[in-house]
Amino acid sequence: MPDKDIPADAKNIILLNLMPLKESTERHLFRLFSEADGNIRFILARTFSYTSKNTTEEYLQKYYIPLTDPYIQNGRFDGLIVTGAPVEHLEFSQVVYWEELKGFFEWSKTHVKSIYGICWGAQAALKYFFGIDKYLTKDKLFGLFDISLTEQACENNLFKGIPKNFIAPQSRYAYNLAEDIKKDDRLIIAASGPEAGMHIVTAKDGSLLCIFGHPEYDKETLSAEYFRDLNKGEEIVFPHNYFINGNPALLPDPTWQKAGRILAANWINNL
């Protein structure tokens, strides 16, 4: 529900948080969007067809509303953020809440100005709105990777102020083919890297911004993911170009956040 302490002219942004650890994801994203002009009202939303097992029901009831809530269904919103989700290994049709998400994406066509998709959330949006499939990587794309803006991005105000070359965290098991994006003249590849592949894709009309990496991550996030999987006995690649001198005790400064914050602010300011 709207926060009465936030000015009426604030940008209204639905945050559909599909990540297991809701609070840390909220913290990351609130910081990422902190440099936008004006005020932002975040409406924390959750699916009704699947309930998170890693966040208490008490917390969900207190801070989140389901996508079916009348406040959402009857409202008009400036933006929608769809986070990643640990379901990349599944076909879209196998995801428990896929049908619900498809319905929500359809609803968004007339109720939301623009969608900001992250990782799986970006891939899901590309699948629904443009019919573009994802593919599984042989090994997890994991670590810090060099990224460059394309010439088309440099001419787009959405990317104003972002350095042409920057680094970005990646943590995913799936990717989209650049060839599929290039076949659709409604889309442009805005940023990519020689090892990471596509990092940002955007719709020319501004209706969708896809970020396949994680500019919102803290300096510790990749380390936490690495040791989580290692301690569970799961196969996990050593994070690329992340630990200083390859030493897991030495973490880098999160310099990637600068480009991420500029892009997030530009997206908000253009709504």
Active-site position among 28, 199, 210, 214: 214
Active-site position among 28, 88, 210, 216: 216
Identify whether 151 is a catalytic site residue. no
Identify whether 119 is a catalytic site residue. yes
Count the Cβ atoms, other than its own, within 10 Å of residue 161.
12
Identify whether 220 is a catalytic site residue. no
CA distance 174 to 89: 8
Q: Are 223 and 144 in contact (CB under 8 A)?
A: no
For the residues of the chain, what is the DSSP string, one character each? ---TTS-TTSEEEEEE--SSSHHHHHHHHHHHTTTSSS-EEEEEEE-SS---SSS-HHHHHHH-EETTSHHHHT--EEEEEE---S-TTS-GGGSTTHHHHHHHHHHHHHHEEEEEEETHHHHHHHHHHH----EEEEEEEEEEEEEEE-HHHHTSGGGTT--SEEEEEEEEEEE--HHHHHT-TTEEEEEEETTTEEEEEEETTSSEEEE-S-TT--TTHHHHHHHHHHHTT---PPPBT-SGGG-TT-PPP-THHHHHHHHHHHHHHT-
Count the Cβ atoms, other than its own, within 10 Å of residue 236.
17
Residue 236, CA atoms < 13 Å, CB-side half-sphere: 19
Active-site position among 28, 119, 199, 210: 119
Active site residues: 119, 214, 216
